[in-house]
Amino acid sequence: MREGTAKAIVALGSNIERERNLPEAIRLLRRAPHVTVERVSRFYESPSVGGPEDAPDFFNAAALICTELDPIQLRRALRHIEQELGRERTDDPNAPRTIDLDVAYFGETELDVNGWVLPDPLAGTAPHVAVPIAEVAPDWIHPTDGRTTKEIAEQIGPGEVRTVMAIHLSTPYSPRAPEDFDDVSDVYAPKFESLVREQLLEIGEDPDREGLQRTPLRVAKAMDFLTSGYSTSLEEVVNNAVFDAEGAEEMVLVKDIEFYSMCEHHMLPFFGKAAVAYLPKGKIIGLSKVARIVDVFARRLQVQERLTNQVGDALTEILDPHGVAVVMEGRHLCMMMRGVQKQESAMITSAMRGTFKEDPRTRNEFLDLVV
């Protein structure tokens, strides 16, 4: 965990248009400044407690996050997401709601600010809160009573826990990016779709004509995928696939890794291939994870120079190897389609760390293998 950051757990719930609002809240949480979502629980269903007799059942979830915000700032950021999703808080704490986002735990913090208490008392008494939390952080220790969240969920009682059912949603929404870009049976991200519609009007098109009627939805889905790097953490991608490899000190090279990104100056694509190498210092990483790390940073608005360095820095942070080397060759549509319109031009960038930077022989060995 980086210096100046803290771990926290956010509890989520919805019983108004819950199939849409709960996943959308997770999507917005992933996009929130100074927040990195590391893990999200499955969705659970539970009856409404304390509200009207005919109140619909809730969908609940929990998210483990890393944040640079303090508890008050994080609570404020969660309230902002609630407002975006149409939550209107009233004096009735049990009223149906589009979304409920609460800080359940914030590191080892204990506080009471005008009745707002951390840890959230429901985290120790309510199965619809405790069970999702135990899924994302089973070893998290309650700072007051010393129990783990797994112990809390188990001790609440099996009779109550059975009223909470794990479910799988069939919905065009996704916490990260859609699986089916052509499913246009529902609204995806209303605010985003409205912006795309305005853009079509601005360029002189008719968004209501047959070919464009669902274009705003498709664009919203596509942009969610193409910029999904903003909502993906390194920890989530690596997923503990770092292994001890005593005696392994020879170069590990993965090359011809395809990447697709978008230029931050014109929001036009650039694409190409990357070669990534490292010299292990007792640890190696799963082969596919190298390509996934490239994707994490490529799927953002980028410049190729920064993208190359971010991949190098990420591997250095994860493995602490003797050295890391990255070379990327990209073709940029902002140069090919507009401006000078040079279709055959290519850009090559490199990032050298440790031994690859300090030892010309190691660097040359890498470059000879890449060519």
**265 in catalytic set:** yes
d(CA 275, CA 291): 10
Estimate to the nearest angstrom the gap between the alpha carbon of 203 and the chain centroid: 32
**82 in catalytic set:** no
- What is the 8-class DSSP label of residue 116? E
Q: 3-class DSSP state for residue 203?
A: coil
**168 in catalytic set:** no
Q: Which amino acid is at 114?
A: N
> How many Cα atoms within 13 Å fall on the side-chain side of residue 97?
25
- The CA–CA distances, whole Å, from 267 to 27, 270, 339, 355 equal 21, 9, 14, 36
d(CA 139, CA 134): 8
d(CA 52, CA 57): 11
**24 in catalytic set:** no
Q: Which of 80, 265, 305, 343 is catalytic?
A: 265
C-alpha angle 233/262/345, rounded to 5°? 130
Contacts 24+ apart (CB under 8 A), 57-60: 57/15, 58/13, 58/14, 58/15, 58/18, 58/128, 59/13, 59/14, 59/15, 59/18, 59/19, 59/22, 59/167, 60/11, 60/12, 60/13, 60/128, 60/129, 60/132, 60/164
**358 in catalytic set:** no
**128 in catalytic set:** no
Q: Transcribe 2-32 into DSSP letters.
A: -TT-EEEEEEEEE-SSHHHHHHHHHHHHHHS
- The CA–CA distances, whole Å, from 340 to 260, 329, 336 equal 22, 19, 7
Q: Are the C-beta atoms of residues 67 and 34 closer than 8 Å to each other?
A: yes
Q: Which residues of 150-174 are buried (b: 16+ CB within 10 A; e: fewer)?
A: bbbbeebeeeebeebeeeeeebbbb
Q: Which of 198, 249, 264, 305 is catalytic?
A: 264
Q: Which of 128, 263, 310, 322 is catalytic?
A: 263
Q: Are the C-beta atoms of residues 349 and 294 closer than 8 Å to each other?
A: no
**322 in catalytic set:** no
Token reading at 368:
């000879």
Estimate to the nearest angstrom the gap between the alpha carbon of 246 and the chain centroid: 33
Q: Which of 82, 193, 302, 304 is catalytic?
A: 304
Catalytic residues: 263-266, 304, 332, 334
